[in-house]
A and B are shown apart, each in its own frame.
Chain A
Amino acid sequence: MDVNVSKLTKDLGKIVGKDHVRADKPTAVVYAKDVMPWDLEEKNIPYAVVRPLNSKEISKILKYANEKLIPVHIHGSGTSLVGLARPKTKGIVLDTARMKKITAYPERGYFEAEPGLHVAQVRKELAKYNAMLPVFPGSELVATIGGTVAVNTSAHAVDAALGKPGDFVLGFEVVLPTGEIIQTGTESTRRPAGIDPTKIFIGSEGLLGVLTLIRMRLIPLPYFEHIVAYYNTTEDILDAVMAMYKQGIHPPLFFEYLDERAAKIGFEAVGLDEPIGAVAMMRVHSWSKVGSEDKAQKFLEFLKTGNPIEARIIKDTEEWNSIWSSRAEAGNYMYRLGTTFGSEISPRVDKLKDAFQEAKSIVTNLESYKDAEFISFGHIGAPTIHAYAFIPTKDISNDMKKAITLEMREKTEDLNIKYGGCGGEWGLTAQRVSFLKKKYEKEVYEVLVKMKKALDPNDILNRGNLQGWI
């Protein structure tokens, strides 16, 4: 494609103002780089980065891109772990960072936020209204609300306890790939029954439109109680999760685990004494203080019917904060000690133990790298296992990083297929088109392609993500 970058910059400058379009290479590489372990290639580096202020400007940008047939890649904060944020082709990066308005309407029961706000900023704003944001990504300091809803990620929250962010979305303002601005959903707290285009855009990962306003229900802040449980082995935790579903016990809002190795790393990172084995930590919620205490007590009693070394309710906020942060720090410190290659395995609950054992075997028998160490943690109550291949050095070539990433991806995809899962956190399309094709009938992928073509005939938005390009 022959693009005159200086003309492109000038044309985009007429839409957003010349201060908000940048075509210099330093800006381009920074916006192209994401968490994927291997380096950028020339094809990933955009012609220009454009930073619109509102839906009208986005509409004009998309109409212009359709006229010139230039792809547009949407950028929130670039924290997606599986390649969603890295442009697959040269094009325009559309950064939503200037779109940061938020208004709460307690009298209407909802708030409206623009997509560029960071999740932590939304949470802080909602706290003024004693409301809870039902989104809990580990990267909430920087991940955007637009990206979170566009991926519909549950992150820490157990789906069976709360649902996904999309379950709380009442409506959107969306700019379609061809530039039309549309409103979806309702301004009532009653969500539409039947066909509702809102649902098409939830989790659409920027393939079907740009979310420019997100209307979400205000959820009164519940009461929380916290539990920690220490086990000899991770298998004991898996038994507890399987029993929880089988016996119909109410799942906690958070149910996280650190395996034996991750627990040592995480606890050391936050200055706690080394635990004997694996650790599970839970947060339960209820709409009354008495309710949350009762729920915690009942869940503790349930845990004690299993095989914990110790399980107890934590009342001291400081103690809970350090135990909870050990979960986040385990990932950080693992990366400080070497290089990690992650995966997301969400099997059918009754197959949790089988999936865990096979994930372990995949990591310890990698063909692209011998002697990788298996470390795992994750949102086990959901259930999600993050199985990591840990390599205790940073000195790995770019090609090797790519090979390990792709092998881990392919083999854990097969595991998800074997055990009936498909992941529920990191987003599917950007990296996992091959997974979709393997898991479902070919018509399923064809439906997605037709849907994309109906809304985006020139394949302008996030080109390559639905094709499976890397």
Chain B
Amino acid sequence: MDIKESQTVRNTLLQEIGKCRACRFCIDVCPAYQASEWVENMSPYGRLQILKYLINGTLDEDDPLIYSIYSCLQCGRCDRLCQAKGQNLDVSHLIRLGKYLLSQGLVKGSKNEKV
């Protein structure tokens, strides 16, 4: 992914995550959230917030952040929930894009060139 492409991905993520209403309906259906004994940053909602604050510079890349994002199993339950009760976001796709961005080490202000 070159710089231009990473910018496009960042913009897409910010735009799409901006649609999240923080209703938190998606958290209960997430198997990683359940397995973590209900820690909200191990939920779809939590991962979207982390990605937003990572891209806007509030957060730096660090191990807990990467752990939260990578705890997504891509099962897609949150997508169904968001489609039915929320804002119709393709949540698991956005998290996948976030993982891709992280893995390229192209997040602005990143301390880790390669994750």
Contacts and interface: CB of A to CB of B under 8 A. Distances in A.
Interface of A: 20, 22, 24-27, 29-31, 33-35, 39-40, 51, 77-79, 95, 97-98, 116, 118, 139, 141-142, 328, 332, 335-336, 394
Contacts of A97: 37-40
B23 interface: yes
A83 to B, nearest CB: 12
Interface SS, B side: loop
Interface in B45-62: 45-46, 49-50, 53, 56, 58-60, 62
B25 A139 contact: yes
Nearest to B86: A332
Contact of B49 (A30, A98, A335): A30
B25 A141 contact: yes
Interface string B53-74: 1001011101111001000000
B21 interface: yes
B85 interface: yes
Contacts, number: 90
Interface in B4-63: 15, 18-19, 21-25, 27-28, 37-41, 45-46, 49-50, 53, 56, 58-60, 62-63
Contact of B27 (A22, A142, A336): A142
A77 B27 CA distance: 10
Interface residues of B, number: 33
Interface of B: 15, 18-19, 21-25, 27-28, 37-41, 45-46, 49-50, 53, 56, 58-60, 62-65, 68, 85-88
A29 B68 CA distance: 12
Given A25-B62, A79-B23, A142 B87 contact: no
Contact of A24 (B45, B53, B62, B86): B62
A30 B23 contact: no
Across chains A and B, which 4 residue pairs bring their CB atoms closest together, nearest first?
A: A24-B64, A97-B38, A30-B41, A30-B46
Contact of B21 (A30, A116, A335): A335
A400 B91 CA distance: 27
B40 A31 contact: yes
Contact of B28 (A30, A78, A141): A141
Nearest to B56: A39
A26 B68 contact: yes
A43 B15 CA distance: 25
Given A22-B64, A142-B27, A29 B85 contact: no
A142 B24 contact: yes
A317 B63 CA distance: 50
Contacts of A95: 40
Contact of B85 (A78, A118, A141): A141
A399 to B, nearest CB: 15
Contacts of A29: 49-50, 53, 58-59
A22 B39 contact: yes
Contacts of A335: 21, 87
B24 A79 contact: yes
A35 B23 contact: yes
A336 B49 contact: no
A422 to B, nearest CB: 26
Given A33-B49, A142-B28, A27 B64 contact: yes
A342 to B, nearest CB: 11
Contacts of B56: 39
Contacts of B27: 77, 142
Contact of B38 (A24, A39, A98): A98
Contacts of A141: 25, 28, 85
A168 B19 CA distance: 38
8 contacts: A27-B39, A33-B49, A51-B39, A97-B37, A141-B85, A142-B25, A336-B87, A394-B19
Contacts of A40: 53, 58
Residue in B18, B23, B46, B65 whose Cβ sees the most chain A Cβ within 10 Å: B23
Given A31-B40, A79-B24, A335-B21, A26 B64 contact: yes
Contact of A78 (B24, B50, B58, B88): B24
Contacts of A20: 37
Contact of A26 (B15, B23, B59): B59
B59 A25 contact: yes
A4 B60 CA distance: 20
B64 to A, nearest CB: 4
Residue in B19, B28, B38 whose Cβ sees the most chain A Cβ within 10 Å: B38
Contacts of A25: 59-60, 62, 64-65
Contacts of A79: 23-24
A336 B60 CA distance: 30
Contacts of B41: 26-27, 30-31
A335 B25 CA distance: 15
Nearest to A138: B23
Contacts of B45: 30
B22 A33 contact: yes
A142 B25 CA distance: 6
B64 A30 contact: no
A122 to B, nearest CB: 13
Contacts of B64: 22, 24-27
Contacts of A139: 23-25
